[in-house]
Amino acid sequence: MAFSLHSYPVVYRAKYGHQAWKEEYIEKPHKTPEEEAALGVPEQNALAASRNAYDDMPLVSYTTQYGLSCFEGLKALPQQDGGLAIFRPDQNAARFRRSMEGLMMPGFPEDSFVTACVETVKRNAALGFRPQYKKEWEQDSFISADSIYIRPFSYAEGGIGVALSQKPWVVVVTTPVSAYFAEGSSDAVITERIRATPKGTGWIKAASNYVISALAKHEANEAGFMECIYLDAVHRKYVEEGSSCNVFFYLKSGELVTPELGDTILPGITRASIIELARDRNIRVTERKIAIEEVFAEGKECFVSGTAAGATPIESLTYQGKKVVFNHGKTGDLTAEIRDTIKGIQYGTLPDTKGWMVKVI
Ligand SMILES: *Cc1c(COP(=O)(O)O)cnc(C)c1O
């Protein structure tokens, strides 16, 4: 399983109250990574469960009852030089503050966010909990490479009435990850479900948005597809994004299109980075509405983007029983170049000319 919850022992937590955030780092039960690896599966699971248990987290809260929560997802990557570095945490910090404010919670300070991510990774690494860089990853452009997934999230105080969170907590957990999408098929399908509506919370990385995504993704998987793609809620015509990733189409004309941001699309940091990298290569990149008919008629390559997905090629897209196959089912040249460039910057094999990487150790 590529994405599992065997979180590292050190967890960051900040509680809001009296106009201030009270911070702490909690060291949950652990042995050495080697001793833990030698345990039987039941013992490993028991340890993982104890690390995920908090006696003082309210059971009934606006988060557990009404899904009032937002989160972030970012990565710390083992570097070629043996260190660890985080990809653009300042951007996640800014989005997290916007998300919290969008949910009418007190915004979490951006510098505290970056420090919490760096410190949590650093403290776990000091206990030996970190992946080590492997030279062999370079062979497949880091598609199979390991990294640390950092998951900051908000958690509401206890409460039962429908109300806003005034004293949220911010928690940062970390867990090791390998490639997100299983190797093999990367067929996508247009789902009939609606992820986000105008004036809703689609632009916020809100926990509640993921209910629809989990349903739609499950249906897509059951039907044999890897991913589902949403159309807009109003016209049911324009492509918006995937279940947890943004989408790009490289058209026959040489234009790289990604749906323009609005209140129904999540402003991905990978998306923004890809736009910048493609423009540096003199590719014509446009952020605009793109109808599903245009994708069928003009699409040459397609990929989805996100922290977990990186840039993952989409082989085909099915809509109302019709299927378009991109680039004869093979990863396109532009898709591969973008994917490899991002991975190279992230793992330190390409120069970080934009200052995107923040060193942890
Ligand atoms: C997180 C997320 C993305 C990708 O954002 P990144 O910052 O690139 O990881 C795209 N769409 C949705 C719905 C998301 O929640």
d(CA 189, CA 227): 7
Q: Is 269 in the pocket of ligand 1 (CB under 6 A)?
A: yes
CA atoms within 13 A on the CB side of 198: 5
**283-333 residue pLDDT tens:** 999 999 999 999 999 999 999 999 988 999 999 999 999 999 999 999 999
Closest ligand 1 atom to the C-alpha of 245?
10
Topology (CATH) of 10-177: D-amino Acid Aminotransferase; Chain A, domain 1 (3.30.470)
List residues bridging with 167 in a β-sheet: none
| 201-257 pLDDT per residue, tens | 999 999 999 999 999 999 999 999 999 999 999 999 999 999 899 999 999 999 999
Task: Determine the pLDDT at residue 239.
Answer: 98
- Ligand 1 and 205: CB distance under 6 A: yes
Q: What is the pLDDT of residue 4?
A: 65
Among the CATH numbers 3.30.1490.20, 3.65.10.10, 3.40.50.280, 3.20.10.10, which is that of 187-330? 3.20.10.10
CB 157 within 8 A of CB 285: no
Give the closest residue to 100 by CA, choosing from 14, 170, 182: 170
Q: What percent of the chain has pLDDT over 70?
A: 97
Q: Are 188 and 316 in contact (CB under 8 A)?
A: yes
Which residue owns the Cα nearest ligand 1 atom 13? 244
Q: Mean pLDDT throughout 250-276?
A: 98
Query: pTM to 2 decimals?
Result: 0.96
- In angstroms, rounded to a whole number, what is the distance separating the alpha carbons of residues 296 and 323? 8
| Residue 121 tokens, joined | 């990774």
Sign (positive or negative) of CA dihedral 119, 124, 126, 127: positive
Q: How confident is the model at residue 27 (pLDDT cuts 50, 70, 90)?
A: very high
Reading the block at residue 90, the tokens are 């300042």
Residues that are catalytic: 205
Q: If you count them, how many residues does the chain have? A: 361
**Cβ(302)–Cβ(329) under 8 Å?**
no
Q: Where in the chain is the domain with CATH 3.20.10.10?
A: 187-330
Best CA proximity match to 309, nearest among 253, 241, 255, 219:
241
**How far is Cα 46 from Cα 43, in angstroms, rounded to an integer?**
5
Say how many Å lie between the first and final Cα of the chain, rounded: 28
What separation in Å is there between the alpha carbon of 102 and the centre of ligand 1?
16
Ligand 1, residue 91: give the atom nearest the CA.
7
> What is the distance in A from the centroid of ligand 1 to the CA of 266?
6
Residue to mutate (ligand 1; options 194, 243, 264, 307; most atoms within 8 A of CB): 307
For ligand 1, is residue 270 a contact (CB within 6 Å)? yes
Calpha distance 268→274 (Å, rounded): 10
